[in-house]
Chains A and B, each alone.
Chain A
Amino acid sequence: MTRFGIPQFPGSCDETDTLLACSRVGEAELLWHKDKDLKGVDVVVVPGGFSYGDYLRVGAIPPFSPVMQAVKEFAAEGGLVLGICNGFQVLTEAGLLPGALLPNVNLAFTCRQVDLVVENVETPLTHEFAPTERISVPAKHTTGRYFAPTEMLNALEAEGQIILRYAEGHNFNGSVNDIAGVCNERRNVFGLMPHPEHAVDPLTGSDDGLKLFSSLASAAGVPA
């Protein structure tokens, strides 16, 4: 069974939902920001929140924590890493994902359901989806406007590194090219601003997010 590790920082707040979401498709445990190793997990999911208070700049300080040093080594060896919301911000600041997240155009914390289109289904995070499949998950953030300089953006588009886009009319934060989620060139590190971990049970209106976790679990290649 695939084992998920969820690094928790002071100021994280979505680690419990992430733990529960991962537990539906595998085994999951929390890691602490001071941990120097990842306890042998198969997949790392960096959760949302306000790690280290989001001081200085969102996601700026966590890359220097012991657990993130271990995550960087894990990613360099090809390990699967997903960052959600603040986790996405942390992975861009850590240099594991291209681009940066800027304040929403409306300058407001915004919490709403968004429709996303799966743009690339040939990645470990999305291989269980149909091409251009549409999913509904919540988004809740203040700093989620994806940005990449033109040259980088063109390369991301050409290489299929844009994995999720906001559906028409759903790009509330002003992200360039409607980008909601990206991956690295090697396609083992992923980040998205919306929250699939809050959409894993029909009780909350949508369970569309679960398939991202089950895709990761099956891609990890760990026998059940």
Chain B
Amino acid sequence: MAVKATVLIRPKEGILDPQGEAVENALPALGFSGVSHVHVGRLVELEIEDPSQLESMCEKLLANPLIEDYEVVTASA
């Protein structure tokens, strides 16, 4: 049975994230206050028969481990 997986990819802690900064700076202009540490990343959804492949898939293609962290969330499809 296929497993539904969501892979969350975000910029590594400490690497300048100008996208996150731009969003963070835009929020006060709309009246939202007290927002900090905004980061913008990517989300990949997929269905997979053998979820043990996910880790290697992230390392080799879905994320660039030098600049990005990833997190895999799985649920039965």
Chain A positions near chain B (C-beta within 8 angstroms)? 56-57, 60-61, 64, 93, 99-100, 102-107, 145, 147-149, 174
Contacts and interface: CB of A to CB of B under 8 A. Distances in A.
Nearest to B60: A64
Given A102-B15, A174-B16, A60 B61 contact: yes
The interface centre, meaning the residue of B16, B22, B42, B64 with most chain A CB atoms within 10 A of its CB, is B64
Interface residues of B, number: 11
Contacts, number: 32
Interface in B10-25: 15-16, 18-19, 22
Contact of B62 (A56, A107, A148, A174): A56
A107 B19 contact: yes
14 contacts: A56-B42, A56-B61, A57-B64, A60-B64, A61-B61, A93-B64, A100-B64, A102-B16, A105-B18, A107-B19, A107-B22, A147-B15, A147-B66, A147-B67
A146 to B, nearest CB: 11
B67 A100 contact: yes
Contacts of A105: 16, 18
B66 A149 contact: yes
Contacts of B66: 99-100, 147-149
B59 to A, nearest CB: 12
A204 B16 CA distance: 35
Which of A106, A147, A148 has most chain B Cβ within 10 Å? A147
Nearest to A59: B64
Interface string B54-74: 000000011010110000000
Interface string B24-49: 00000000000000000010000000
Nearest to A57: B64
Contacts of A102: 15-16, 67
A107 B18 contact: yes
Contacts of A61: 61
A40 B61 CA distance: 29
